[in-house]
Structure 1
């Protein structure tokens, strides 16, 4: 027996998918703002393009703003301190290792502490390695200090980006509720 899905069920499915964006913005390895346009597409399947295009356009716009927030937060933090282009890659590797508990320095911390210290440690190691010959031959200690500062800037950029994406996810869910219940 084939039971057609009701419009209410589609609305709740689309809302649930969009609500997945909220934990995705807080937890680094989960998909975040991409859930907003996916929820918009579910709503388009239910009611059609003519009625649901504003929800999808808003969701795509917020997703794009989230990508820009990521790029700006990391780029500005690194540029301000004249960090190497590899510091963000080191922070990404450190994030993965930290969240999965693979950093030997953080066996007690768990995923949340790993998500904070992993990127810092990754950026510090990469920045120290890249700047083997610091300016004015100040030695490894100065290179290590510079790496630690760059690591802090990268982590601060990640936190600012996560906060901006959380606000965008909440705004997307509220906009979907407001636009789809007209």
Structure 2
């Protein structure tokens, strides 16, 4: 049976086990996970937090990360500003990005979710409101959610991937992992 790891990736951690990109060492998965033979099924940007799945089976890895399978990925997204229904409708219909139209997304304005504090904290601006969205997409372009919210005029301040399919980080502290059923 394939091994599947559910990891709550903290802000600032690379979604890989080694860092060869800079002279200054950056935090990687190896700072948190000492298992051999597991690899990320997809990526999560260094400045994003939340669910990262790792597994030891190529087929399962493809099933999770390949956009052909349209596995739902749900994010809690803090944006700068106060999006209106017309803005959310643009995201729901699909947004034109430099690499083409996105697939329609499920989007709703939500109350501030009960999340762990981010380190470092998000900058607060007294004159600019912020809002929280729950966005579910079924593709996985590079920095897609951030680019989508920016395209409709609401830059992302904080991005937390909450779930992929039925797997979630609910109840799992940042930097912690557990085995799950594939």
TM-score, normalised to structure 1, is 0.29
Q: Which structure has the greater CA radius of gyration? A: 1
Which has the bigger relative contact order, CA under 8 A and spacing at least 6?
2
